[in-house]
Amino acid sequence: SQQGEEDPQALSIQEGENATMNCSYKTSINNLQWYRQNSGRGLVHLILIRSNEREKHSGRLRVTLDTSKKSSSLLITASRAADTASYFCVPRAGANNLFFGTGTRLTVIP
Amino acid sequence: NAGVTQTPKFQVLKTGQSMTLQCAQDMNHEYMSWYRQDPGMGLRLIHYSVGAGITDQGEVPNGYNVSRSTTEDFPLRLLSAAPSQTSVYFCASSYEEGTGGYTFGSGTRLTVV
């Protein structure tokens, strides 16, 4: 399977707390991408981390990648109600298409 | 710059009817794909294209046709709609492999009765 598996399936936190989501995958990758999908809307690309990178930051997002364990994590700091969404990790192995799992559904309670 | 535009946003079809979901991008992207999203199943790839005149099947191509006569447009055709095709459909595009993420349209919610 080329898709990532997100864990947990659902996460509920208070506004201002940090949210951590994990991703495991099975293939060798060129890069790994995280996407967000708000309820009933399209997907938005958040961040891409290449296979030779271990950590990457973008605003309140921090992504780590451990290729030896075939795992990644997405940390959202100081969460906001607007962060409520489903988050998907997409491992890329060079194919031209994307394979999505079922995601982590994050709920941020105001 | 509109990005990826999908039309219509909502559609109800009767079983056996045919229709075309439109997808257009104005970013000169080579790669375009169609996905369907069903509860509990994530996104599944239907068809994709690596450039004008080139298409290929994804995970769940049955019941759908595509064509790519121009770089900008990638329509998805439902040949004979079935209730199992009730889903939300997303079109996505990317300009180059590995250099960034895909840009997604806002989706088409299709109901087949």
Q: Which residue has the tokens 């290929």?
A: B56
Q: How confident is the model at residue A41 (pLDDT cuts 50, 70, 90)?
A: low
Q: Of the candidates B19, B13, B43, B15, which has an alpha carbon nearest to the alpha carbon of residue B104?
A: B43
What is the full per-residue pLDDT of chain B (113 aa) written as tens digits? 578 999 999 999 999 999 999 999 999 888 888 999 887 777 788 998 888 998 888 778 999 999 999 999 999 999 999 999 999 999 999 875 544 577 889 999 999 99
Q: What is the mean pLDDT of chain A?
A: 89
Question: pLDDT for A66-100, tens place per residue?
Answer: 999 999 999 999 999 989 999 999 988 765 566 78
Strand partners for A62 = A57, A75
d(CA B43, CA A98): 9
Q: How far is B82 from chain A (nearest CA, A)?
A: 22
Q: How confident is the model at residue A40 (pLDDT cuts 50, 70, 90)?
A: low
Q: Which residue has the tokens 């293939």?
A: A27
Q: Which residue has the tokens 């509920």?
A: A12
List residues of chain B with CB under 8 Å from any CB of chain A.
Answer: 31, 33, 35, 40-45, 48, 50, 58-59, 90, 92, 97-98, 100-107
Whether A45 has a pLDDT exceeding 50, the answer reads yes
Chain centroid to Cα B99, Å, comes to: 22
On chain A, the residues whose CB falls within 8 A of the CB of B31 are 96
Q: How far is A102 from chain B (nearest CA, A)?
A: 4
In the prediction, which pLDDT does B9 show?
94
Q: Which residue has the tokens 């004008």?
A: B52
Strand partners for A55 = A64
- Count of C-beta atoms within a 10 Å radius of residue A82: 10
